[in-house]
Chain A
Amino acid sequence: MPEREPLLVMTGIVKTFPGVRALDGVSFDVERGEVHALVGENGAGKSTLMKVLAGAYRADAGEVRVDGSAVSIDGPRAAEALGIGMIYQEFNLVPHLGVVENVMLGHEPLRGVFLDRKKAREETIAGLAEFGIALPLDLPARRLSVAEQQMVEIAKALVRRARLIVMDEPTAALTEREIDALFGLIARLKAQGVAFVYISHRLEELPRVADRITVIRDGRTIETRPAREMPQDEVIRLMVGRPLQSHFPELPPVPQDAPVVLDVRGLCAATGVRDVSFAVRAGEIVGLAGLVGAGRTEIVRAVAAADRPSAGEVLVHGKRIEAHGPHRAIEAGIALITEDRKAQGLVLGMSVRENTTLAHLELFAPHGLVERKAEESVTNAQIAELRIRTPNGEQVVRNLSGGNQQKVVLAKWLIGNADVYLFDEPTRGIDVGAKAEIYALMVELLRRGAAIVMVSSELPEVIGMSHRILVVGEGRIRAEFGRAEATPDKIIAVATGVAA
């Protein structure tokens, strides 16, 4: 008997976006009834690969074979027809509909033109029972726990006869007991021949759930091995791989007598910040490292009072900030350069000038009316200093490139001469040249005596641009490393919960 072809074989997949080669010839395969873990750093290409599989992206090159025959997956329907089910980190449930309606969504049984509610319910119950899933059928999805919502997503995939289920960070928001239940379900489904692609940053759980592990990095497959032949430290080494790039500027050392500028004490917030304390001195950059969803963004947002802290205090130069919203923090000298510049940093329909002066308009309106000339001269000075590539200050920022938009966000905060700069992913999605300019600017801010906190998901950046590194997990600070002792392996080990 000839050896059966694997369920899924992806070969030489290439996908480029403007300026980025996200996938550079990835190969990946999945056997029937197998759990295949896919790991890699943020931006390594995992999500892109899975979106190609789901039909959300079209690959530029490469071949996808299912059951041994080449297929073209040109949309979610095509993926579904091939028996591929996707469970994204953000669930796709309709919050106000019940479990039955969600499971049957798009596949509602009909009687004539009417919905056959009875049959829908029976089919859902039968499906859930077959796979041993218990769910409260009548509750709307928004009332279910995260684990229950995940079960609904799995049931949705199974009712559609999925033979391969892709799960993206399925355990990120689950408790230990819920994780046990999920792994139990995965084991039962495996026994029935369902295969899984399992994407997770939690390396410690891979030996429990995965049969094989594939590491990808920079859009390429680095290694595929059985899980038991790939110990964690080996996974980490393969994930990080490259030597640290040295395009970072020399950081001036923090003077011995530098005063503490930012002092955060016991800060908590409903967004998941738990008892966070740290201090940053003048001329110092503190990097916050951790996994996506670890709570780094939430910490800087709470410091800047963008989210209301529930406990703890923030002091700037020893003075406590009353946490009544962002304007108090801004007055106290805190500038938050947000992660998502389009959603939070800029008014895209406004000009460079209007965005630049927005947070400090009082400086330009001493007598009530805004003085356009003053705005123009300050804006032009920023355009020159930051080398913002724009025809002039009246250009609408929507029309600028990502790096130049980021510089406009920086200009907005620079004109206020803040004491504390909180950078959240300052170089995400911008080109290498603009990155270097932003690093140089950070050094310049240090020289002026500013204190900087930088959140970054790029380990080389955190290590290359911080005097100290705090590793965040589950909303807490798990460990602190000095610059000299920090290595990617150590940081990943703490961030993923392998080492404490």
Chain B
Amino acid sequence: MARAGEAEATLEASAGDARAKASRNAALRFGGVALALAAVVIVINVFSHGSFLTPGNLTNVLRQITYNTILAVGQTFVIITAGIDLSVGSLIELTGVVMASFANAVPLDNGLLLVIATLAVGLAVGCTAGLINALPVVKLNLPPFITTLAMMLMARGLAFKLAHGRPVPVDSNAFDAIGIGFLFQGLLRPLGLPGLPIAVLWMVAIVAVFAIVLGRTRFGRYVFAIGGNEEAARLAGINVALCKTLVYVISGGCAAVAGLLLMARFSSGSPNTGIGSELQSIAAVVVGGTSLMGGRGSIIGTFLGALFIGLLNNAMNLLGIESYTQDIVLGAVIVAAVIVDELRKRYLT
């Protein structure tokens, strides 16, 4: 027993080391992205004659990445289970069109109630689509690439049909606040800031909530376990089918929230705003260090990935780089980020 006690004592000590090491690993994981960010930021600021590092511009970047970040949060859950969700871009459109039509159709004078009811409808549509994505995956073992590809086509087709091929303008102005509104304008103006965009607050809230869900709850742990070894997870008594269903439902729900914010921003639900968004979200997830093989990743990483891509896009605009060149650079950056991550994994752990 004495020996066991001793062993325990050393273990206590080494658990402290372990925590230090874990945080060092985390620092390395995020440190890479952060370092790249810092380097890019400085270079760009020099070349854009200082117009990049202004509070106004940075606020703008945050607002621009809001939609992609929210999509990428849901996508992160899916990708950690070694799945993929190609339908999120179309679901922005479908939920946007449905929510705009709904908001126009219901006679609700209270603006807040209207927003809540509209969001509920959008979430119902998005989560149902996620459920439909998941069922063939968990019941018939179909590849998620196929089921979400089918959903991508169907949701976009349905959005166009419902909207008769045109954007659906929103009559009520109840959505203006979340679309283009700012908080703390008076407080922040002296600092040269236009205020805090309300949409950005939504993003921050979603990132925070799902970072906790993924990092601290049983469900989050199960998501990692399923992605790491699905059979071992099943034999450990984890309800694999339920967990996998939930990740697609979360992804569909995130698409609905992004759909609401986009609809609010443009005061209309449009059936073609989401084209390519699914790939943007996957790019953010991958650049943020989540493995497409499953089992590894984080929400904070995804946020940094989306931020990095957003800053890069913004910088290239400021530098007057034409959009074709921007695509080439973005593609190269994605591959480079994954290569760096792969090398880090190989040599630093």
Interface residues of A (CB under 8 A from B): 304, 306, 325-327, 329-331, 336, 338, 343-350, 354, 358-359, 361-362, 365, 368-370, 376, 380-381, 383-385, 387, 391-396, 412
Contacts and interface: CB of A to CB of B under 8 A. Distances in A.
Given A346-B229, A350-B228, A369-B216, A380 B11 contact: yes
28 contacts: A325-B234, A325-B239, A326-B235, A327-B237, A343-B229, A344-B231, A347-B228, A349-B295, A349-B296, A350-B224, A350-B225, A350-B228, A358-B236, A359-B236, A369-B212, A369-B216, A370-B216, A370-B218, A370-B221, A380-B12, A387-B7, A391-B14, A392-B17, A392-B18, A394-B18, A394-B19, A394-B22, A395-B18
Contacts of B17: 391-392
A395 B292 CA distance: 23
Interface string B232-276: 111111110000000000000000000000000000000000000
B217 A368 contact: yes
A118 to B, nearest CB: 36
A412 B235 CA distance: 11
A412 B15 CA distance: 19
A396 B229 contact: no
A327 B239 contact: yes
B8 A347 contact: no
Minimum-distance CB pairs A-B, first 9: A327-B237, A394-B18, A347-B228, A359-B236, A330-B237, A392-B18, A392-B14, A384-B7, A380-B11
Contact of A358 (B212, B216, B225, B296): B225
Contacts of A392: 11, 14-15, 17-18
Interface residues of B, number: 34
Nearest to B212: A369
Given A359-B237, A385-B4, A348 B14 contact: no
Contacts of A329: 237
A384 B8 CA distance: 6
A215 B160 CA distance: 74
Given A348-B229, A361-B221, A369-B212, A336 B235 contact: yes
Interface of B: 4, 7-8, 11-12, 14-15, 17-19, 21-22, 212, 216-218, 221-222, 224-225, 228-229, 231-239, 295-296, 349
Contact of A361 (B12, B15, B218, B234): B218
Contacts of A344: 229, 231-232, 235
Contacts of B15: 376, 380, 392-394
Contacts of B234: 306, 325-326
A362 B228 contact: no
B232 A346 contact: yes
A348 B316 CA distance: 41
Contacts of B218: 361-362, 365, 370
A363 to B, nearest CB: 10
Nearest to A416: B237
A394 B21 contact: yes
B229 A347 contact: yes
Contacts of A346: 229, 232
Contacts of A338: 235
B237 A381 contact: no
A362 B217 CA distance: 10
B11 A358 contact: no
A412 B236 CA distance: 9
Contact of B232 (A345, A361, A384, A396): A345
B232 A326 contact: no
A196 B30 CA distance: 60
B224 A306 contact: no
A347 B240 CA distance: 14
A125 B228 CA distance: 47
Most buried by A among B17, B19, B21, B237: B237
Contacts of B22: 394
A370 B239 CA distance: 17
Contacts of A354: 221, 224-225
Contacts of A412: 236
A359 B19 CA distance: 23
A326 B216 CA distance: 24
Given A350-B224, A359-B237, A384-B8, A370 B217 contact: yes
A452 B336 CA distance: 53
B15 to A, nearest CB: 6
Given A348-B229, A350-B224, A393 B18 contact: yes
B217 A358 contact: no
Contacts of A393: 11, 15, 18
A2 B277 CA distance: 80
A384 B237 contact: no
B8 A380 contact: yes
A18 to B, nearest CB: 22
A383 B12 CA distance: 11
B24 to A, nearest CB: 11
Contacts of B222: 361
Contacts of A387: 7
B12 A347 contact: no
